[in-house]
Amino acid sequence: MPKKLHTLIKDNIGIIVCILAVLTAFLLSLTYDGTDGSTYRLKETSYDVKVYNFSTEEPDESEESEESSSIEELSGFALYINGEYIGTSEDKTTLKKLLDGRAEDLAASRYGEYIDATIEDKITIEYTKTDRISGEDEILQALSEYNLSLMVEVYEQRLAEIPFNTIMVDDSDSYEGTEKTLQKGSGGISEEVYVVTYSGGEKVGETLHTSTVKEPPVNEIIKRGIKLKTNPLPSGLKMFIMPYEGGITSEYGSRYLLGSTFHGGLDIAAKEPGGYCYGEYIMAAGDGVVVSSGYNGDFGILTIIEHPNGIRTYYAHQSETLVKAGDSVKQGDYIGRIGSTGQATGPHVHFEVRLPDGKGGYERANPKSYIIDYESYYRK
């Protein structure tokens, strides 16, 4: 076939194919109408003929490769927070790095310096097939728009008051119920550091981390009385015996002796005027314990006895004592002998009754109110 004809056919192959298709359809539409075969007609038929533009050029291999790669599936790791899709990365390490970085930035912006920060939301990383990998900036942007819930531990510093202690010092010379402040107390100051935990912005717990004393407290010191104080017997209740069965020469109260004076006790001498009593035994007026016994100024030789109810009795001007401090005595026991030591005009025993005053001291009382059968000892 001549070269020019070959080229012509090649260049118009599409048109030629179209013409052949139309012609074939026309011939097939002819039908025989009649019995003698002398008459033919074209059967009425409608057609929808499409003309296609065919290219005989071979496809470019580079274009075929690009088309194939554009539809190739990729693999990666998809990140979800509480079920919400955030982005896809080529590896899990990148996602974890981005999550940690976002948590650190968020914790720093909310709390400043912190110890540790943990994301509380449900984090899911799934291996997946995808047609697109997200860039790091894109994932970071999505994370910044998500309101992450964090559990954060931070240090918090506070000043706290240290309470002072009260130290009680027992004083056996003071009655119970009495107190005296020897040193006032004052609180100290400590610097305390706590580890505080926040969850979702709310404080959920704290523990003391360190405590440093800045100013120590000063303890309060109080002296308290421990001496038992019993209520003295009411006036009129007789409980004591006469320390010497003699006669009363001077009663309790005001008297005139070398001037007007107050006599704080009873003077008991011989029963009969002009009688002799020097050296006679002096008896304990009641049960008790000897507080002291010895020479005591104007009292001369004096014995003091404290009784269970707190009352004390005094026995003065003795010629000698028969007891010492700490001795226990019973009512009627001999405790000394009548004399005239100290300031005395003659042999006799000066007897006093003293009641606790509630302040650690004692006050004199009329012995007449406490001595059994007192009137029988009047001198006749």
Q: What is the pLDDT of residues 82-124, one digit of tens each?
A: 999 999 999 999 999 999 999 999 999 999 999 999 999 999 9
Report domain extents, the chain.
Answer: 3-57, 74-148, 157-196+208-227, 247-377
Calculate the CA dihedral of residues 336, 338, 340, 341 and round it to 10 degrees: 0
Question: How confident is the model at residue 361, as a pLDDT?
Answer: 85
Question: How confident is the model at residue 308, as a pLDDT?
Answer: 86
Query: How many whole angstroms separate alpha carbon 79 and alpha carbon 91?
Result: 11
Residue type, 315: Y
Q: Which residues of 315-340 are buried (b: 16+ CB within 10 A; e: fewer)?
A: bbbbbebbbeeebebeeebebbbbbb
Element housing 233 (H / E):
none
Element housing 289 (H / E):
strand 288-295
- Write down the architecture of domain 157-196+208-227 according to CATH: Single Sheet (2.20)
Question: How confident is the model at residue 332, as a pLDDT?
Answer: 94
Q: Percentage of the chain with pLDDT > 70?
A: 75
Residue with tokens 């296609």: 52
Partners of residue 84 on adjacent β-strands: 81
Q: Whole-model pTM? A: 0.41
Choose between 11 and 75: higher pLDDT.
75
Question: How confident is the model at residue 225, as a pLDDT?
Answer: 83
Residue 311 predicted with pLDDT over 60: yes
Q: How confident is the model at residue 30 (pLDDT cuts 50, 70, 90)?
A: very low
Structure tokens at 78: 């998809």
Choose between 145 and 43: higher pLDDT.
145
Question: How confident is the model at residue 258, as a pLDDT?
Answer: 55
3-state helix, strand, coil in the chain (%, to 5): 20, 45, 35
Question: How confident is the model at residue 267, as a pLDDT?
Answer: 94
Q: Which of 8-12, 20-24, 32-36, 38-42 has the lowest mean pLDDT?
A: 38-42
Q: In what order do the strands lie in the sheet with 116-119?
A: 116-119, 150-162, 188-199, 202-215
Contact 282, 315 (CB under 8 A): yes
Query: For 43, which DSSP code?
Result: P
Question: How confident is the model at residue 309, as a pLDDT?
Answer: 82
Query: How many whole angstroms separate alpha carbon 91 and alpha carbon 255?
Result: 118
Highest mean pLDDT: which range of 10-14, 62-66, 193-197, 259-263: 193-197
Choose between 226 and 80: higher pLDDT.
80
Residue 261 predicted with pLDDT over 60: yes
Question: How confident is the model at residue 281, as a pLDDT?
Answer: 97
Structure tokens at 273: 């005027």
Question: How confident is the model at residue 348, as a pLDDT?
Answer: 95
* Crossing angle of helices 92-111 and 136-145, rounded to 10°: 40
Query: How many whole angstroms separate alpha carbon 266 and alpha carbon 365?
Result: 11
Residue 317 predicted with pLDDT over 80: yes
Q: How confident is the model at residue 10 (pLDDT cuts 50, 70, 90)?
A: low
Q: Which of 2-6, 73-77, 106-110 has the lowest mean pLDDT?
A: 2-6
Residue type, 262: F
Q: How confident is the model at residue 233 (pLDDT cuts 50, 70, 90)?
A: low
Instruction: Return the number of other C-beta atoms located less than 10 Å from residue 46's C-beta.
Output: 4
Residue 365 predicted with pLDDT over 70: yes
Q: Which of 112-116, 142-146, 228-232, 364-368 has the lowest mean pLDDT?
A: 228-232
- Whole-Å CA distances, 188 to 164, 181, 266: 7, 19, 59
Residue with tokens 């074939």: 24
Taking residues 202-213, what's their average pLDDT? Answer: 94
Structure tokens at 350: 């000066």
Instruction: Return the number of other C-beta atoms located less than 10 Å from residue 47's C-beta.
Output: 9
CATH topology agreement for domains 157-196+208-227 and 247-377: no
Q: What is the DSSP string of 246-267?
A: SEEEE-SEEEESSSEEEE-SEE
Contact 266, 313 (CB under 8 A): no
- Write down the architecture of domain 247-377 according to CATH: Distorted Sandwich (2.70)
Question: How confident is the model at residue 31, as a pLDDT?
Answer: 39
Taking residues 55-59, what's their average pLDDT? Answer: 32
